[in-house]
A and B are shown apart, each in its own frame.
Chain A
Amino acid sequence: MSAVIVRRLLAFLATLLATSIVVFVVLEVLPGDPAQVMLGVDAEPDAVARLREKLGLERPTTVRYFDWLLGFATGNLGESYTYSVPVLELIVERLAVTVPLALIAMLLTTIIALAAGVFAAAHHNRPGDWGVMLFAQLGIAMPNFWFGILLVLLFAVTLGWFNAGGFPGWEDDALASFQALLLPAVSLAIVQSAILARVTRSSVLDVLREDYVRTARAKGLSKRAALWRHGLRNALIPVVTVMGLQFAFLLSGTIIIENVFYLPGLGRLIFQSISQRDLVVVKDVVMLMVAKVVIINFVIDLLYVVIDPRLRTAR
């Protein structure tokens, strides 16, 4: 078992390193002179030179790269060019919005999808199943930001129950802050749970056809007991895979949704940073988001090993 984990750990570290090289090359080497990009083509040569010095661009590329990596380890991510505050500070502040948003969205996704998926499988080829599948098909076709706008239209514009956007801040008003995250979380969750419900349904159906479930039924277990005692663990493997992928991509989903609801999260930060050409922030936040995808994939890999003991001995 430990050999499998070590192998996966090495692959994980290698992927992480490779992604960091890609991000660094694209955002710091390809632009030629990042200082010029940040200030625009019409900038005074003096100003460009000053910024270049401030960013330490005179140093060799490899030194800058390792410095940047080291910054992630020590928390020294440099200073934002537009906000003139340490990037780490900016990121931590924004994470207080994005992380709760992603967690609420994922929680809602899991509850809705598992309930709907198992329900559909239990009512296979009956109206309940068709109903769930119809809603799933529609949910998958809807852009989540459009769903968000429709929610605003209904709950903010028409009914007036929620604000159309904005975020009061946890210190000022925790309850209102939580409320501000609800509609965005629902917009993210509905579309994702449509996908996950389909996966859950077909996975449960597959498992119900397995020999060991038939054996369990033959020894007198009810369909439900056979599923819960023997089937669910196996049915969960594809579900966990898709959940992992969804959670990993949730952060990029939040980029759009945070813009729909004017939430001051990581997604909005990166978006504002592009319009302000603040490459320092863009580079750090992109790396953080990509690292999150890689880390979650790694955790999912480890979860497989926990769920399916057969994988412990496999290559």
Chain B
Amino acid sequence: MSTAVVSIGRFFRYGNFAIGIALTGLVGLTALVSFFWTPHSAILIDVAAKFRPMSAQHWFGTDHFGRDVFSMIMVGARNSIAVGVVAVSASVTFGTALGLLASARRGWIEELLMRMSDLAFAFPAVLTAIMITALWGPGAINAILAIAIFNVPVFARVTRGAANAIWAREYILAARAAGKGGLRITVEHVLPNILNVLIVQATIQFALAILAEAGLSYLGLGAQPPYPSWGRMLRDAQSYLFEVPEQAIYPGVAIAIAVLGLNLLGDGLRDAFDPRLVRKR
């Protein structure tokens, strides 16, 4: 099925998609609004106001530096989305290109690329991040790099698998007979027909990237202070678990909402792109 003709109305018949887009939209909107407005500064320290409970003034209370937790959550959304978008875009670009190349050329190039992706698979994102950090120190860019490196083979494999199925179709044979070369067939026929699969996979990897970023920044390997990140907020909250236990809740809920939203969105997109799957399940 071609991508463009899937009507919006049909998308919304799927509950997953509707809930997914609502949650993802909420997180996206929060990040967007945080550029213009937050209840308080998410960075300014006011130690005199530390550990304030929930109130009309501080909706989620304040942390050990007296910063407004609600504002930090808002700005943290920006960080999670930025890391996810950049890491996934980079890995989609490289992974898809490699997968398409493997599929178009087959033979030893395919074999080599797939063995390389086996190799990259042996390095979980946390380990890659640790190696990068050992070299260049911690930081948001290094977290992005580690997550992107981990995701490249994911997209390379998915692309190759889907593209191989397309290359076996009759319309490719027809395009060949018409004298089109490998590059032209890839761009005009293969890529448009695997776009659905890639969009679904990218949504799911985006969710995984947000989880990975949270884990890395929890360990202190992600965004550095003073910029708030949900993972590091959890780390800080853990240090004051006995004083302000409720602060270990908010950043976790924020992460879970973002990941749940993207996962549901991915499921919904898959169902919408391929309704046969829905009936089968």
A residues near B, CB below 8 A?
11, 14-15, 18-19, 22-23, 26-27, 30-31, 37, 137-138, 140-143, 145-146, 149-150, 152-153, 157-158, 164, 202, 205, 249, 251-252, 255-256, 259-260, 270-271, 274, 277, 279, 282, 286, 289-290, 293-294, 297
- Taking the nearest CB of chain B, how far is it from the CB of A78, in angstroms? 16
A242-B256 Cα distance, complex, nearest whole Å: 22
B252 touches A15 (CB 8 A): no
A307-B127 Cα distance, complex, nearest whole Å: 31
B252 touches A141 (CB 8 A): no
B238 touches A260 (CB 8 A): yes
Residue of A nearest to B116 (CB): A18
Known interface pairs A143-B214, A149-B234, A153-B248; A282-B134 also in contact (CB < 8 Å)? yes
A282 touches B130 (CB 8 A): yes
Residue of B nearest to A279 (CB): B134
- Taking the nearest CB of chain A, how far is it from the CB of B263, in angstroms? 6
B122 CB–A CB distance under 8 Å: yes
A274 touches B234 (CB 8 A): no
A153-B249 Cα distance, complex, nearest whole Å: 10
A150 touches B122 (CB 8 A): no
A252-B264 Cα distance, complex, nearest whole Å: 26
A140 touches B252 (CB 8 A): no
Known: A18-B115, A252-B124. 20 other contacts (CB 8 A): A15-B119, A15-B122, A18-B119, A19-B119, A142-B255, A142-B256, A143-B211, A143-B231, A145-B215, A145-B234, A146-B214, A150-B248, A157-B241, A255-B219, A274-B133, A274-B134, A293-B121, A293-B122, A294-B122, A297-B122
Q: Which residues of A contact B219 (CB under 8 A)?
A: 255-256, 259, 271
A143 touches B255 (CB 8 A): yes
A202-B267 Cα distance, complex, nearest whole Å: 14
A27 touches B131 (CB 8 A): yes
Q: Mark B238-264, 1 if CB is under 8 A from A, else 0.
A: 100110010011011001110110011
A153-B256 Cα distance, complex, nearest whole Å: 18
A256 touches B215 (CB 8 A): yes
From A164, A202, A249, A293, contact of B241 by CB (8 A):
A164
Q: Which of A141, A202, A205 has the most CB of B within 10 A?
A: A141
B123 CB–A CB distance under 8 Å: yes
**Residues of A contacting B: mostly:** helix
B12 CB–A CB distance under 8 Å: no
A19-B122 Cα distance, complex, nearest whole Å: 8
Residue of A nearest to B16 (CB): A137
A137-B15 Cα distance, complex, nearest whole Å: 14
A42-B249 Cα distance, complex, nearest whole Å: 42
Known interface pairs A26-B135, A30-B135; A149-B130 also in contact (CB < 8 Å)? no
Q: Which residues of A contact B249 (CB under 8 A)?
A: 150
Q: Which residues of A contact B74 (CB under 8 A)?
A: none
B126 CB–A CB distance under 8 Å: yes
A249-B125 Cα distance, complex, nearest whole Å: 10
B46 CB–A CB distance under 8 Å: no
Known interface pairs A140-B259, A143-B255, A256-B218; A152-B130 also in contact (CB < 8 Å)? no
A70-B164 Cα distance, complex, nearest whole Å: 41
Q: Which residues of A contact B281 (CB under 8 A)?
A: 202, 205
Q: Which residues of B contact A14 (CB under 8 A)?
A: 115
Known interface pairs A27-B131, A140-B259, A286-B131; A157-B122 also in contact (CB < 8 Å)? no
B118 CB–A CB distance under 8 Å: yes
Which 5 A-B residue pairings sit nearest by Cβ, starting from the closest?
A252-B124, A141-B260, A146-B252, A141-B259, A252-B126
- Taking the nearest CB of chain A, how far is it from the CB of B205, in angstroms? 13
Residue of A nearest to B133 (CB): A274
A256 touches B126 (CB 8 A): yes
Q: Which residues of A contact B31 (CB under 8 A)?
A: none
10 examples of A-B residue contacts, CB within 8 angstroms: A141-B207, A145-B218, A149-B248, A153-B245, A249-B124, A255-B219, A274-B133, A282-B130, A290-B122, A297-B121
A150-B256 Cα distance, complex, nearest whole Å: 13
B102 CB–A CB distance under 8 Å: no
A149 touches B241 (CB 8 A): yes
A158-B215 Cα distance, complex, nearest whole Å: 25
A290 touches B260 (CB 8 A): no
B156 CB–A CB distance under 8 Å: no
Q: Which residues of A contact B237 (CB under 8 A)?
A: 149
Residue of A nearest to B125 (CB): A252
A290 touches B259 (CB 8 A): no
Q: Which residues of B contact A18 (CB under 8 A)?
A: 115, 119
From A30, A141, A143, A293, contact of B263 by CB (8 A):
A141
B119 touches A149 (CB 8 A): no
A35-B6 Cα distance, complex, nearest whole Å: 59
Known interface pairs A19-B119, A252-B124; A150-B130 also in contact (CB < 8 Å)? no
B84-123 residues with Cβ-Cβ distance < 8 A to A are 115, 118-119, 121-123
Q: Which residues of A contact B263 (CB under 8 A)?
A: 137, 140-141
Residue of A nearest to B261 (CB): A141
A224-B274 Cα distance, complex, nearest whole Å: 31
B241 touches A255 (CB 8 A): no
- Taking the nearest CB of chain B, how far is it from the CB of A216, in angstroms? 21
- Taking the nearest CB of chain A, how far is it from the CB of B249, in angstroms? 8
Residue of A nearest to B211 (CB): A143
B47-72 residues with Cβ-Cβ distance < 8 A to A are none
Q: Which residues of A contact B256 (CB under 8 A)?
A: 138, 141-143, 146
A149-B237 Cα distance, complex, nearest whole Å: 9
